[in-house]
Amino acid sequence: MVHSVNSSGGPPNPSVHVALRLARDHHLPTEGVLLQQLKVSAIEKVKHGDNFSSGLVALYSLAIAASCNNPANVSYKEDRIDLIEILQEKLTEEIKHIVNTTFPLTNYYQVSLDVLTLCVLERELPQDSVQILCEAAMKDKFKYGKEFSVDTGAVAALALRCVKGKPNTQCTFSALHKVLNQILHQVKDDGIIGNIYSTGLAIQALSANSDLVPSVQWNKTKSMYRLLSAIREGSFSNPQAASQITPSLECRTYLDVRELNCTADRSNLTVTTTSPPPTTQAVPITVEYNIVDGLTHSFNDAVNVSVLAGSPLIRVLEKARDLYPDRFSFNVTSTQWGPLLTTVRNLTASTENRTYWQLLSGTEPLGQGIGDYKPKDEERIVANYTQY
């Protein structure tokens, strides 16, 4: 995460800042640089009217507060913005959208982040927001397709925990009970909760609600060790992925942002330079790439391409496009997780219509995106245009 701040050149990552702040050891010069980048970037986004989704505003606010700065008063040169007011407005829009259409403007992961942030920072929550989040939990809305999203449930459980006990929040008792049970249902024998990338957030949710989690139902040590072994296997080389497990590994949760004592920090983190992985002879592999319009069935096209072993999936897409530009053209959007596949041929993902390009290996959904997933020889990768 520290290296990503100094080398990325891309937009600053608020989730990485929260993680660095919640860690016990610090590299204060890097945290200072990232804090400044976040402030400038927030101001630029507001000034230029760039896309600034509610959850992203929440993460920026949480990050700035985690450095003991006031997100309601972010300034750079002669510009000044109030991120809390913006967050309250964005959450109000999400609530209105849910009331009108039954779906949030973005998704329930972000609505939960919004409620969590306003609560942790002890700011006023828009009317009905807690009630709406409770209802969503009770009506099983934390889903993409048919699957319960552990990540979403985990952030919702943190938000509900935070607001529990405040006036007019009686609904949180049954909502928490429901969501925690759904998360506990996803605990696997090896300690993974959901998948490896939701495990960190799930540990936070279960730890923050430990009084409601029967100890026979979850072995925290096992989940923590599973994360540590996954780090050694290289599953967390993406800084965004690393940022979502760090709080749990430091035995903290996002709720602890309100308790940070910045004056006590010491810059005691020794940053080691990672040596490049040993160079193995790169051999070519063959990957079948299949693009399917799963909604209106306007096309179903496949091609075999050859890439070097260890290449990320995006190389396969590029090869296919180079071979047949008309059939395999594609576009991506950069996100904190890496490139998100948004368009293939003439079909573009849309939040409004809740369509996206799902990635699969055969019939199994991939656990990573095109920037991180490394296909194997003879693997069949499917990009399927579908709805969530």
Which two tokens mark 270?
A: 């020794």
User: Based on CB atoms, which residue is closest to ligand B12, 74 or 205?
Assistant: 205
Which two tokens mark 4?
A: 């990503």
Examine residue 372 and tell whether it contacts ligand B12 (CB under 6 A): yes
* CA-closest candidate to residue 184, choices 161, 205, 158: 205
How many binding residues for ligand B12 (CB under 6 A)?
39
SS3 74: strand
Examine residue 152 and tell whether it contacts ligand B12 (CB under 6 A): yes
Amino acid at 274: T
**Among 40, 82, 340, 380, which residue sits at the site for ligand B12 (rule: CB under 6 A)?**
340
SS3 54: helix
User: Based on CB atoms, which residue is closest to ligand B12, 27 or 121?
Assistant: 121
Examine residue 42 and tell whether it contacts ligand B12 (CB under 6 A): no
x-or-dash string of contact with ligand B12, 210-249, rule CB under 6 A: ----------------------------x--x--x-----
Examine residue 195 and tell whether it contacts ligand B12 (CB under 6 A): yes
**Among 11, 294, 310, 367, which residue sits at the site for ligand B12 (rule: CB under 6 A)?**
367
In the beta sheet, which residues pair with residue 144?
Answer: 147
**Among 20, 64, 120, 197, which residue sits at the site for ligand B12 (rule: CB under 6 A)?**
197
Q: What distance in Å separates the CA atoms of residue 250 and residue 171, rounded to the nearest whole number?
A: 31
The least distance separating ligand B12 from the CB of residue 117, rounded to whole angstroms, comes to 11
Q: What distance in Å separates the CA atoms of residue 279 and residue 304, rounded to the nearest whole number?
A: 26
Element (H, E) at 130: helix 129-138
Burial label for 118, CB within 10 Å (0-12, 13-18, 19+), is buried
Q: What distance in Å separates the CA atoms of residue 388 and residue 376, rounded to the nearest whole number?
A: 27
**Among 55, 71, 153, 191, which residue sits at the site for ligand B12 (rule: CB under 6 A)?**
55
Binding region for ligand B12 (CB under 6 A): 53, 55-56, 59, 106-107, 109-110, 144, 149, 151-152, 195, 197-198, 201, 238, 241, 244, 335-341, 351, 356-359, 365-370, 372, 388
